[in-house]
Structure 1
Amino acid sequence: MDAKQLLLTRQSTPRLVAPAPNAEQLTFILDAAARVPDHGALTPWEFIIAVDDGLAKLADIFVDAAKKSGADEAFLTKVSNMPYRAPMVITVVAKTQTHDKVPVLEQHIAAGCATMAMQQAAFSIGLGAVWRTGDFAFDANVHQQLGLSEQDQIVGFLYVGMPAVKAPIKPLKNGQQYARYL
């Protein structure tokens, strides 16, 4: 797939099945993430990969956080299944630091760019991916159980696998409608 086709046809793939990316595919996905703009070469990100038993651990973390917030049984059941929406979940964390020239917001954006690059990389090799956030990205219990520090912020959970169905390519949006000139 050439770059132009990738940029104009990329889309989220919410229905994903096994297999998870193999070692070579995962290396490509992670290497693509590490190539995003990174002012100051701070590499303000961490990728926490859940696959196989890791999905069960992530489910336990979500359930524990939901219990601590007073969730009912129906929600706990839903939460326990969330990591299994795909054979791999990559939790992308913005690992920020104080810097004279690189504000925290820019570091969060870099981590977001890394997430988008991983999704595009997956799409380019025939895999599917969907970037989700939700309340658990901001939950202190989830952060603690993932070993994050106080200044760390989850920017998303990237679900990766094989597309369950071949989705039609969405119509191209006209980007000019969102632009204006000074």
Structure 2
Amino acid sequence: MNLIDQNIMERRSIKKFKVDAVSTEEIIELLNVAKWAPNHKVNEPWRFQLYTGAGKEKFVQAFLEAMKTADGETPAKALNKADYFRSIPLHLVVIMPEDPRQRRWDEDYGAISSMLQNFQLAAWERGIGMIWRSNDWIYNPVFREAIGVQPGEKIVATMMIGYPAHIPAKQERTDIREKLTIISE
């Protein structure tokens, strides 16, 4: 098995992180590698917001505002999640334009998904783990406005990034032969 194959098969989504800081410059380097993902017309349909250090609190507060109930209360579950978010070294919000043309939208989303997989694999090779989150609250207008996502933009992911404190066991995948139809004539 070559190194690329091994890296693809060993990468895991990380939920528990060490408190050790991850260098902003290293994230920029990784994104500069990841940007080589295929994308139609090389339009690079992505932009990013990286929350680190004290800046993470803006992300956390946006989340908490979005979680408030109609009576203005913040559920205990949201408060616990906010503490968890504070413990994660970095949060990367990945944003794309919402093109009204379905084909362009599909191509842009495919390009960003490819770029994010490149990002995860390159980071994994350096010992950095992450999880790609696309929870309901990223669609909440309160959260979107609080972090400066404009109308006509889509949050594709919130990538939670750090050095793994725990690497989950591999979950088996279905043999591709069970999902493959071969048409030879």
TM-score scaled by structure 1? 0.86
Which residue of structure 2 aligns with residue 140 of structure 1?
A: 141
- The answer as to whether partners of 1:96 and 1:152 remain within 8 angstroms in 2 is yes
- The answer as to whether partners of 2:14 and 2:167 remain within 8 angstroms in 1 is no
Which residue of structure 1 aligns with residue 44 of structure 2?
A: 43
Instruction: Summarize the Cα distance change of 1:53–1:104 in structure 2 as closer, same or farther, 3 Å threshold.
Output: same
Which residue of structure 2 aligns with residue 165 of structure 1?
A: 166
Amino acid corresponding to residue 36 of structure 1 in structure 2: A
Which residue of structure 1 aligns with residue 26 of structure 2?
A: 25
- The answer as to whether partners of 2:12 and 2:167 remain within 8 angstroms in 1 is no
- C-alpha deviation, 1:107, in angstroms: 0.8
- The answer as to whether partners of 1:59 and 1:82 remain within 8 angstroms in 2 is no
Q: Please state whether the residue corresponding to 1:47 is helix, strand or coil.
A: strand
The runs of 5 or more residues in structure 2 that have no matched partner are none
Percent pairwise identity: 20
* Range with greater deviation from structure 2 (30-39 or 102-111): 102-111
Which residue of structure 2 aligns with residue 103 of structure 1?
A: 104
CA deviation string 1:128-169 (max 9, x = no partner): 111111112211121112212211111111111111024444
4+ residue runs of structure 1 moved beyond 6 angstroms?
A: none
Which residue of structure 2 aligns with residue 77 of structure 1?
A: 79
Q: 1:94 aligns with which of 93, 96, 108?
A: 96
CA deviation string 1:52-73 (max 9, x = no partner): 1121110100011111666653
In the alignment of these two chains, the number of paired residues is 181
Q: Does 1:52 align with 2:53?
A: yes
Amino acid corresponding to residue 83 of structure 2 in structure 1: N
Amino acid corresponding to residue 34 of structure 1 in structure 2: K
Q: Please state whether the residue corresponding to 2:68 is helix, strand or coil.
A: helix
Which residue of structure 2 aligns with residue 178 of structure 1?
A: 179
Paired with 2:69 and 2:31, the residues of 1 have a C-alpha distance of: 33
RMSD: 2.4
Paired with 2:24 and 2:82, the residues of 1 have a C-alpha distance of: 27
Paired with 1:103 and 1:69, the residues of 2 have a C-alpha distance of: 37
- C-alpha deviation, 1:38, in angstroms: 1.1
The runs of 5 or more residues in structure 1 that have no matched partner are none
Which is greater in Rg?
2
CA deviation string 1:84-133 (max 9, x = no partner): 3521111111134467x951122122222222222111111111111111
Paired with 2:90 and 2:171, the residues of 1 have a C-alpha distance of: 25
Instruction: Summarize the Cα distance change of 1:76–1:5 in structure 2 as closer, same or farther, 3 Å threshold.
Output: closer
Paired with 1:131 and 1:140, the residues of 2 have a C-alpha distance of: 20
